[in-house]
Chain A
Amino acid sequence: MEFLEYSSTMLSSCPAAPRPLLLLLLKLFGSLPFNPKVLEPAPVPVPSSLVMLISSLNVKPNNFLAGKKSQISSTPPMRFRYAMVCSSNQNRSMEAHALLKRQGLDVASYGTGSHVKLPGPSLREPNVYDFGTPYKQMFDELRRKDPELYPLNPLMHLTVFIRYKRNGILQMIKRNLSVKLAPQRWQDNAGDGVFDVVMTFEEKVFDSVLEDLNNREQSLTKTILVMNLEVKDNHEEAAIGGRLALELCQEIEGNETWEDTIDDIVAGFEKQHRRKLVYSISFY
């Protein structure tokens, strides 16, 4: 939702682009290729568990296999499993997920909201999907909706939407569908196994994760580190947040017993980046 709010504020506050640019954009927009295929009926949402299964099979490098590999290899470094969690598992968590994955960390990502929400034509009508709806499906639907929703008329809106809608959201979803199949809900995926570190990007999400961990049966006597880094729900901030998360995780990755050093790591991080960080410890 914050993403939405942000987009809408941008929408209202964005100054009109210079005239030539506008015209160019108009031209571009008008001549966009229209794919008749996207008009076909939308595919049925896939159940979350299935998505998980499929994503674990299809997406390379595979999370689970990667984890196993590390144990098998002869000189295994201490490998942690990470989870990136935000509200809708679209922007912040996926940004971090993509980044950590590229760096070879064992990472998964989740959302804690009740639904996946994407900005819609207005703040009051977001595009809402169930968790488990493949990114591909969202991509297709939004792309199909796009020209309908944002007619050529008011020029200012057009520029804003071209900037945020076409280059933002669609691109974001495109990125997401290259990372995994569908958004997953944290609370519904307790079966995904044990994580060592959970990064959240919003206080509300942090609370939800802790509450959920508390409600699970804690029988493994294993610690889990949950950290919250406040990141605004927009693309720029998400990119920054992803980098910070990566840095943090890499620092923790080096520490065999993070419990001893976590206070220093957090304090150091706060000092270096001038960002607030909160952590908590929960158990499996």
Chain B
Amino acid sequence: MAAPAAATARAQALSLLAAANNHGDLAVKLSSLRQVKEILLSLEPSLSAEIFPYLAELHLSREILVRKSLIEIIEEVGLRMLDHSYVLVSVLLVLSRDEDPTVAKKSISVGTTFFCTILEEMAMQFHHRGKVDRWCGELWTWMVKFKDTVFATALEPGCVGVKVLALKFMETFILLFTPDASDPEKASSEGSRHMFNISWLAGGHPILNPATLMSEANRTFGILVDFIQSANRLPGALTISVISCLAVVARKRPVHYNTVLSVLLEFHPNLETVKGCHAASVQYSIRTAFLGFLRCTFSPIIESRDKLLRAFRAMNAADVADQVLRQVDKLVRNNERAARENWSGKNNQVISHQNSWDLSKKRIMPQGEDDTINGEVAPKRVRHNTNMHLTQQVQTNESLQGPVSINGISSGNHLSDSELTPVEQMVSMIGALLAEGDRGAASLEILISKLHPDMLADIVITSMKHLPSTPPTLASSVATPADIVVSSSTNTVHSPTPPAQLPFDPILPAGSSFSEVPSLSSSVADPRRDPRRDPRRMDPRRLNSSVGPTSLPVGEGKESVPVQKDISTLLSKPVSVSAVTPGATGSVHSTAVELSQNKMMGSSGIRIIDPPECREDLLTVPNECSYPSKEISSLDVPLSPCRDDEGIRETKYSVPDLDMLSVPDFDQHSPSASVPDFDQDPPAASDITAPEESYRELDPVPSYVELTTEQSKTVGKLAIERIIESNRHVFGFDCNKIRMALIARLIARIDAGSDVATILRELISVDHREFKGHDLVLHVLYHLHSMAILDTDESSFYATVYENFLISVARSFLDALPASDKSFSRLFGEAPHLPDSAINLLDELCSTRHDPVGKEVCDSERVTQGLGAVWSLILVRPNERKACLAIALKCSVHSEEEVRAKAIRLVTNKLYHLTYIAEHVEQFATDMLLTAVNSETNLSQTASTAEGIKMEAKSQITLTTESLGSGNSDIPSQQDLQTSREVSVISISEAQRLISLFFALCKKKPSLLRLVFEVYGRAPKMVNQAFHRHIPILIRELGSSYTELLQIISDPPKGSENLLTYVLQILTQELAPSLDLIATVKHLYETKLKDVSILIPLLSSLTKDEVLPIFPPLLNLPPEKFQLALAHILQGSAHTGPALTPAEVLIAIHDIVPEKDGPPLKKITDACSACFEQRTVFTQQVLAKALGQMVDRTPLPLLFMRTVIQAIDAFPTLVDFVMEILSKLVRKQIWRLPKLWPGFLKCVSQTKPHSFPVLLELPVPQLESIMKKFPDLRPSLTAYANQPTIRSSLPNSALSVLGLDNGQDSRSQMHPSDATSSIHGAALT
């Protein structure tokens, strides 16, 4: 069925093709071509291929569009059936030189696609199967021709559009064949299309010669550069294309960057003269290229930033460049931050980091490889890979040192699958380049100069493993026991013959260690790769002079668990491999095979017996683990895989890895520990030589050194120092990360605490600029923390280490760095976890007192620092918020005022704004306030114990004096309280301490004040005093916005009257009280609080009408308060003047009727007296005015006469005025007022002789009674009346009373005593 169908399809296709070729109508041609394409795609490749030649003929068509669609078909069909497409490819070659530019362009772009695809295919085939199909080779020859054609197109004159594409092809070519060693991570991100990497060709590709290709790429690059230099003759479009191509090359292959940069910088063609070249655009394209460079973060590009910026300035585009730079920097920072976060969050950072590193490297490798590998069984893979590496090794050996006979055996497997690490790829590539001789030398030079340092280090280490086993330098410098016994080993019967073994030996370990690289693809083996990689990565930097063997331990020391595992695998591997490889290598090692079998048997037998002792040995003397067991089990033990494995595992658990650090101490320990053993038992030792010899490079076993904890600490410290030291000289992102990781692990190992902290502190302060130190500390902390978390034991070792480290670092910051330094709070802010001790430290920092006077200044700064840290912790660490808040609050009631002030500022200004804290703060402040208030009762108890003796004494006294015989416990209690109030009342400073915070809060939230009012009544006197100190400040702070206060005022709690008055006083002190306030207070007075004293402060603002009603109660106040009120009343406000004039005051006082209003007469008289005391206010005129007004009143004020008398006493000059008053009174028939009459009399008698005229005005009866009362008046009065002028005016009756008639005088002299007594009475009223 299929065959006929295919046949018809074929026939149909052919007819369609004929139509496409010959039909007159272009549309028909094109449509038939489309149909052909459909058919071709539907057919089997082999059948389609039969049609290809006919299809290819179409390239001769005269129709441009036909040729163009032909290319499209080729693209679509050819790429699908690559193996049959060589006919089509040849068409491409022809059409790329087509006269029509569109066709030529199309074919070049399709050709480029083919070029890449075929190249990739060849590389893949080689990797998969070790050889390349013939068709591929053929296609490649076409491709090479295509390349030559296109290159030629670029150089020859022709259509610019085509040439532009040719240039692009050159760019692609350069990219393809220039190794990209800059950054392994970049390589993978370039996209699927350019996945091909020249390093794939490592290992001797049969067709593709990397060295040639590379040098050709270099040449092509040279062509592009030449283009630029001859730009004067080129059209603008071409120049721009070249520039953009070069820019792409420079960005993607940093190797060429510097060349491109210098070329572009020197590019100053005289473009104006060139016809048909748009100069501005060319210039702009250079600017675009530079901008692109700025966005790159390769190190050479970053280094040249200054140059670029200068160039931009020259172009007047500095601002654009700056903008781009800012963007890039931001991006880089973000990336770094993200990386750090990723990093620190994980458990074993280094592993994961290197995983990604490796994975990214792996991605460079052919993709298909993984699948096949994963399908395989692990053991097989190991062996298989070993073989592979053997061949690998052969090649290098061949190129480097010539053939090695033994290895040649396995070269039969030459073209097996291989999966190479990038390092190995590079090594083999370098090998290939060397093989090229002089031709490759130049390329090699470039390659090496551009390699990433890490990569280079890897290469060096890798090739070190490939060194021949017998170089004298290596052996002598190692000088391990193994070497010592080598000489004796030749004598022993059992040992394999060294000559046969030796050439093979170095390969084994190399192979076995390499064998883990392929196994990376399976996740099981993951941990193994890191350690293997790591030692090599670390070594060159840290141990420049040290040799191979020591390099391994160093790495192990710094890596933690995974490394240990690796030691075991490393050690066991060679053994197992040696058991296998002999088989593979065949006859040459037949003896060795037998031997090893024997050994296996023996060892299994021995193993049953040994373990207990062996283990004991291992546990106690781990560094000698292998030797003692050898002494016991007579033979060959080391060869037993199980034995060795076990042994090493034991060491792993018991020996801190630090022991193996290659630091100076090492030398002191190793000889003493291991050499004597050999001396004691040479024969036993000699047995080991074979195995020992066989993996000489890996002989860490004898170098195990038991160190005491002390020593290991020292060693660790030294190691850290060295790492840090080396850190100073080498810069680079990667290196730093690894260093951090190493240090973190070291610290985790040794609980180094303060020593390390000192070192780090130095680092941090030295390296502050880059914050590397801080990063380092954080890294360490995160590592320790993650270890602690992983540790399920509750009493985790790491947790303690973590705590110690954190605290000691923090302390060292405090000790060494200035208080203004932010490191401390940053440390606490970013540490993964804050243990209690950290909080304690903070607490201590904030509130501890140092007595020495000299430290005070520093101290207060420290407190600021501590509080600052507390604040930031509260903000960023919700977990520690409570504890930190507690610290802050504790400080806010600190006994030292400075500390307290700072803390209060923090709490009120910062913390109180945080909603989640405000409540706590408020609660605390309230509690403190209440503590102060309640201190009376509390303290009475505490004080009773504290001052017990004194108290007792006192109470004893009171008891004895007052309540003798009554119950001892009941009555004294009151008494006690009384005493305690005096004795133990908290001091004012103590009260201040407790309430400051609360008042500070009141500023933020005035409604809190209510509480103050509430507790005021029951607070002890001292506390109230403290209140009084705070209130003025507070009120002033509150300013005009005392609405809250008004509310409180309108409804004051009981007992707060004094405070209220005080507050009002303050409120009115400087400013006139607002109407609100007045209204509120008045209302309060009218409704709740009848105490008029609250009105006193406001009096000055009240009007006369307002003051008068409250005058009586004011009068009723204690004298001092009344005085105050009086002052206020008289003072008045600036606007309205005094509420009452002094005269009015006097009148008001007199208007008070004692019975009605309440104030007793005494008060009123006192008030009057008070007025009279203020002579400056109540002057003569005032009195006169007041009296003048009062005298007209009916009824007369009760105290009128008294005041008159006082007035005349005070101001004798008033006498005439008084007389007028008196005569007025006479006219008012004063004698009818019994209460005033005596006063009148008294006044008259006091003011004689001035009062005589008044007396004489009195009616006769009254005059007579006066005469009776004051007999001593009579003579003088009579004398006065007797004057002729007076006498004439007097009525007779009066004269008769005066005795100016006869017989009157004697009668009036009869009652002198009566008169005196009545005077007394009058004076009393």
Closest chain B residue to A222 by CB distance? B109
Whether A260 touches B235, Cβ cut-off 8 Å, given contacts A278-B284, A281-B244, is yes
Contacts of A267 in B (CB 8 A): 276, 278
A256 & B102 in contact (Cβ 8 Å cutoff): yes
In the complex, what distance in Å separates the CA atom of A221 from the CA atom of B192?
15
Whether, in the assembled complex, B85 has its beta carbon less than 8 Å from a beta carbon of chain A, the answer is no
Pick from A204, A278, A283: contact of B281, CB below 8 A.
Answer: A278
Among candidates B109, B241, B288, residue contacting A207 with C-beta atoms closer than 8 Å: B288
Residues of chain B lying within 8 A (CB to CB) of residue A220 = 109
14 additional A-B pairs beyond A217-B190, A266-B281, A278-B281, beta carbons within 8 Å, are: A204-B320, A219-B194, A221-B165, A221-B172, A223-B164, A257-B101, A260-B237, A263-B276, A266-B278, A267-B276, A276-B280, A278-B280, A280-B288, A283-B244
Cβ-defined partner of A263 (8 Å) among B25, B168, B236: B236
Pick from A221, A276, A278, A279: contact of B168, CB below 8 A.
A221
Q: Check A259 against B278 for contact (C-beta < 8 Å).
A: no
Residues of A within 8 A of B292 (CB): 211, 214
Contact mask B163-196 → A, CB, 8 Å, 1/0?
Answer: 1110011001000000000000000001111100
23 contacts between A and B (CB under 8 A): A203-B320, A211-B291, A214-B244, A214-B251, A218-B168, A221-B172, A222-B165, A223-B105, A256-B101, A256-B102, A258-B161, A259-B161, A259-B238, A260-B159, A260-B160, A260-B235, A267-B278, A278-B278, A279-B278, A280-B244, A281-B237, A281-B244, A283-B244
Contact residues of B between 23 and 57, Cβ < 8 Å to A: 25-27
Mask: chain B, 111-133; 1 = CB below 8 Å from A; 0 = not: 01100100000000000000000
Residues of B within 8 A of A258 (CB): 161
The answer on a CB contact under 8 Å between A264 and B276 is yes
| Closest chain A residue to B242, Cβ basis | A281
Closest 5 pairs (CB-CB, A-B): A221-B109, A259-B161, A217-B191, A74-B27, A259-B160
B284–A280 contact, CB under 8 A? Answer: yes
Within 8 A of A (CB), among B78-116: 101-102, 105, 108-109, 112-113, 116
**With A and B bound together, what is the CA distance between A262 and B236 in angstroms?**
8
What distance in Å separates the Cβ of A208 from its nearest Cβ neighbour in chain B? 10
A109-154 residues with Cβ-Cβ distance < 8 A to B are none
Q: Is the CB of A257 within 8 A of B159?
A: yes
Complex Cα distance, B1132 from A29, in Å, reads: 59
Distance between A236 CB and nearest chain B CB, rounded to angstroms? 25
**CA of A277 to CA of B101, assembled, Å:** 26
Query: How many Å lie between the Cα of A264 and that of B288 in the bound state?
Result: 22
Q: Is the CB of B164 within 8 A of A281?
A: yes
What B residues does A74 contact at CB under 8 A? 25-27
* Min CB–CB distance A271 → chain B (angstroms): 12
Q: Which residue of B lies closest to A260 (CB)?
A: B160
Q: Is A26 an interface residue (CB 8 A)?
A: no
Total number of B residues with any Cβ neighbor in A under 8 Å? 48
Q: Which residues of A contact B (CB under 8 A)?
A: 74-76, 78, 203-204, 207, 210-211, 214, 217-223, 256-260, 262-264, 266-267, 276-283
- Shortest C-beta distance, B1224 to chain A (Å), equals 74
Q: Could you tell me the distance between the alpha carbons of A155 and B113 in the complex, rounded to whole angstroms?
A: 66
B410 within 8 A of A: no
Instruction: Considering the complex, give the chain A residue whose CB is closest to the CB of B100.
Output: A256
Q: Is the CB of B159 within 8 A of A221?
A: no
Q: Which chain B positions have C-beta within 8 A of A218? A: 168, 248
What residues on A are CB-neighbors of B1287 within 8 Å? Answer: none
Q: What is the 8 Å Cβ interface bit string for chain B, positions 261-294, against chain A (1 contact, 0 not)? A: 0000000000000001110110011001001100
Residues of B within 8 A of A219 (CB): 113, 116, 191, 193-194
Shortest C-beta distance, A112 to chain B (Å), equals: 13
Say yes or no for B240: interface residue by CB 8 A criterion: yes
A257 proximity list for chain B (CB < 8 A): 101-102, 105, 159-161
Give complex CA distance A218, B248 in Å.
10
Task: Name the distance in Å between A240's Cβ and chain B's nearest Cβ.
Answer: 20
Query: Which residue numbers of B lie inside 8 Å of A, CB to CB?
Result: 25-27, 65, 101-102, 105, 108-109, 112-113, 116, 159-161, 163-165, 168-169, 172, 190-194, 235-238, 240-241, 244, 247-248, 251, 276-278, 280-281, 284-285, 288, 291-292, 295, 320
Please tell me if the beta carbons of B248 and A280 are within 8 angstroms of each other in the complex: no
Q: Are A221 and B248 neighbours in the complex by a CB distance under 8 Å?
A: no
Q: A217-B191, A256-B101 are in contact. Are A263 and B277 (CB under 8 A)?
A: yes
> Complex formed: what's the CA distance from A260 to B101 in Å?
10
Does the CB pair B109–A259 fall under 8 Å? Answer: no
Choose among B65, B112, B244 the residue that contacts A282 (Cβ–Cβ < 8 A). Answer: B244
Give CA–CA (A257, B100) in the complex, Å.
Answer: 10
| B1237 nearest CB across to chain A (Å) | 82
A269 to B250, CA, bound (A): 33
Q: For residue B792, give the distance in angstroms from its CB to the closest CB of chain A.
A: 47
Closest Cβ of chain A to B939, distance in Å, is 60
Tell me the complex Cα distance, A279–B194, Å: 28
A257 nearest CB across to chain B (Å): 4
A259, B244: Cβ atoms closer than 8 Å: no
Which of B108, B238, B284 contacts A221, CB < 8 Å? B108
Q: How many angstroms from the CA of A152 to the CA of B276 in the assembled complex?
A: 58
The distance in angstroms between the C-alpha atoms of A217 and B175, with both chains bound, is: 13
Q: How far is the CA of A249 from the CA of B288 in the complex (A)?
A: 23
Q: Please, which residue of chain B has its CB at the minimum distance from the CB of A207? A: B291
From residue B275, how far is it (CB to closest CB) to chain A in Å? 9
- Whether the Cβ atoms of B241 and A281 lie closer than 8 Å is yes
Q: Which residues of B contact A260 (CB under 8 A)?
A: 101, 159-161, 235, 237
Closest partner residue, chain A, to B235 (CB atom): A263
Q: How far is the CB of B573 from chain A (nearest CB, A)?
A: 42
Chain A residues whose C-beta falls within 8 Å of the C-beta of B244 in the assembled complex? 214, 280-283
B159 with A281: CB separation less than 8 A: no
When A214-B248, A214-B292, A280-B284 are in contact, do A259 and B193 touch as well, CB less than 8 Å?
no
B193 with A217: CB separation less than 8 A: yes
User: In the complex the two chains form, is A263's CB within 8 Å of B278's CB?
Assistant: yes
Bound Cα distance A75, B25 (Å): 11
B113: chain A residues within 8 A (beta carbon): 219, 221
CA distance A283 to B245 in the complex (A): 9
Q: Which single residue of chain A is at the shortest CB-CB distance from B193?
A: A219
Closest to B323 in A: A204
Cα separation A279 to B295 with both chains bound (whole Å): 21
Pair A223/B288 contact, Cβ less than 8 Å: no
Interchain CB contact under 8 A, A279 and B281: yes
Shortest Cβ distance from A61 into chain B, in angstroms? 22
Interchain nearest-CB distance for B287 vs A (Å)? 8
Closest to A283 in B: B168
Q: How far is the CB of B651 from chain A (nearest CB, A)?
A: 52
- From residue B911, how far is it (CB to closest CB) to chain A in Å? 33
- In the complex, A74 Cα to B24 Cα: how many Å? 13
B169: A residues at CB distance < 8 A:
221
Given the known interface contacts A207-B291, A281-B240, the answer about A259 and B164 at a Cβ–Cβ threshold of 8 Å is yes
Cβ contacts under 8 Å, A276 to chain B: 280
Could you say which residues of chain A place their CB within 8 Å of the CB of B27?
74
> What is the chain B residue whose CB lies nearest that of A78?
B102
Is the beta-carbon distance between A211 and B159 smaller than 8 angstroms?
A: no
Inter-chain contacts of B193 with A (CB < 8 A): 217, 219
Contact residues in A for B101 (Cβ distance below 8 Å): 256-257, 260
CB distance from B254 to the nearest CB of A (A): 16
- Smallest CB separation, A194 vs chain B (Å): 11
Q: How far is the CB of A215 from chain B (nearest CB, A)?
A: 9
Instruction: Please indicate the chain B residues that have their CB under 8 angstroms from the CB of A76 in the complex.
Output: 65
Asked whether A211 and B295 contact (CB < 8 A) given A276-B280, A280-B284, A281-B241, the answer is yes
A183 nearest CB across to chain B (Å)? 22
B67 to chain A, nearest CB (A): 14
With A and B bound together, what is the CA distance between A257 and B163 in angstroms?
11
Closest-CB distance, A259 to chain B (whole angstroms)? 4
| Distance A74 CA – B23 CA, assembled complex (angstroms) | 14
Name A225's closest neighbour in chain B (CB-CB): B237
Name B101's closest neighbour in chain A (CB-CB): A257
Q: How far apart are the CA atoms of A78 and B101 in the complex, in Å?
A: 13
Given the complex, which residues of A lie within 8 Å of B25, measured CB to CB?
74
Q: Which residue of A lies closest to B166 (CB)?
A: A221
